[in-house]
Amino acid sequence: MRALPAPWILLLIASCTGTERTRDAKADPSRESERGLAAHIVDLSLSEGRAYELLRELVTQAPHRLSGSDGAARAVTWAQATMQRLGLANVRLHRCMVPRWERGAPEQVRVLKPAPAHALACLALGGSVGTPAAGVEGEIVVVRTSSQLEALGTAVRGKIVLFNRPMPRALRNTFAAYGASVPQRVSGASRAAKHGAIAALVRSMTTRIDDVPHTGGMRYAPDVPKIPALAVSTMAAEELAKMAKAGPTWVRVRASCRMLADVESSNVIGEIVGSEKPDEVVVIGGHLDCWDVGQGAHDDGSGSIECLEAARLLIAAGLRPKRTIRVVFFMNEENGLRGALAYAKDHANHKHVAAIESDRGGFEPKGFTSSARGDAFARYKAIVDDLRPFGMGVLIPGGGGADIGPLGLQGVPLFGLLPAWNRYFDYHHSKRDTIDAVHPRELALGAAAIAYLALRLANE
């Protein structure tokens, strides 16, 4: 780590309490320069940052970036040109084959009886098959758990199953609440089809009670029929459950979605080449694709842009790392993870020393998660602690994210940006995920946190 000019130390004084600063200086004078570096990066990001501007460019030019779509192709073109414009080196496209699913005409879930007939807010789940042109009709059967479905068995034959397990509100970590409920979205259709159901409806993955449906990925088991699978809003799920409890409730489901042949797409890669160990790499990245509703501003436009802006900040500050910092925009995280798997396979001979991912939204960062354990975790915790004066000094055990997960299987230490999580699932996979839901200062702080951690890992 190069010596810091005196003005950076003054920035540190302004950002820390006097007592804390004196104690740290006596314990370890080197901490002063590291915290001064952190202060400089944070100040630069807040005062001269371009993260929000870059995010606006991305979501304006390519708001719907589902893999294999025209929007995804526009995003790849934008990302490559932008990395070059911002001064990254070795900018390139890393080809991969990705699935192509199309939503088609607007979906319909319509209550037929009891009267009056009316439509419910819904979205087909990514990967779902469509229905015949006239749709499918059946009585609603409501379950909250897979064990309830198994107990019903063939009683659901010819019927439409509503999976109505809410995200548990009692869980403080909304990502844990998501994990407790999302299996019904991913595999519910096949579980219902195994017992003869003709369609599956799934309560949207959000803690809000509103009329905005949330889409997301689902998978079919290979040994059962494929039936249509749609998400309904939480209000619609509550309404259907209440009606079904009172008496027989019939609905019509109509969808024209379809899966097409795989197409070629790309991860987008750019670098700050290391000054001393250019062949050793710290990856920072997020996924460029998003669902075809909203703009994918939080998921994962924010994460990708935070990593791009982190690299731009380091270039602007003249901070060249000893190891190479590689920005990777992964393709197809949402419905296949093809970009991540291809990157890990094709770069297995590269020496990755660490990987950082941002895929939890562009909210106020609190710190990071890390896959490291023991002495390594303690060492990384000391690095992240330099961000504590700015409210970003937390390091907790955990994975880094889906896209860098394959690198973790190769033994690479993983880190994930950890923002405040309470509001993420208000927007996730819905029409609400637009740039106006992202706060510019929170986005700037996320970029600064990633820039600092990436630089320190590259200079270890």
Closest by CA to 289, choosing from 369, 359, 205, is 359
Task: Please report where in the chains the tokens 């409890």 appear, as a residue.
Answer: 245
HSE-CB for 443 with a 13 A CA cutoff: 27
- List of residues 6+ apart from 367 with CB closer than 8 A: 384, 387, 392, 393, 394, 395, 396, 418, 449
Query: Where on the phi/psi map is residue 270: left (φ > 0), alpha (ψ -120 to 50), or beta?
Result: beta
- List of residues 6+ apart from 456 with CB closer than 8 A: 1, 34, 383, 386
Phi, psi for 69 (deg, rounded to 5):
-90, 170
- Using a 10 angstrom Cβ sphere, with 0-12 exposed, 13-18 middle and 19 or more buried, the burial of residue 399 is middle
| Contact between residue 215 and residue 182 where contact means Cβ atoms under 8 Å apart | no
Residue 333 designated active-site: yes
Buried b (16+ CB within 10 A) or exposed e, 416-440: bbbbebebbbbbbbbebbbbebbeb
Closest by CA to 251, choosing from 153, 102, 107, is 107
Token pair for residue 272?
Answer: 């700050």
Three-state DSSP state, 49: coil
Token pair for residue 148?
Answer: 């309830």
CA gyration radius, the chain:
24
Token pair for residue 30?
Answer: 């080197």
Token pair for residue 117?
Answer: 């007939």
333, 334, 357, 442: which one is catalytic? 333
CA 188 from chain center: how many Å?
A: 22
Rounded distance, CA 314 to CA 454, Å? 10
- List of residues 6+ apart from 359 with CB closer than 8 A: 286, 287, 299, 300, 303, 333, 401, 402, 403, 416
Rounded distance, CA 262 to CA 203, Å? 29
DSSP β-bridge partners for residue 272: 325
Task: Please report where in the chains the tokens 């100040």 appear, as a residue.
Answer: 43
Phi, psi for 34 (deg, rounded to 5):
-65, -45
Question: Annotated catalytic sites, by residue?
Answer: 333
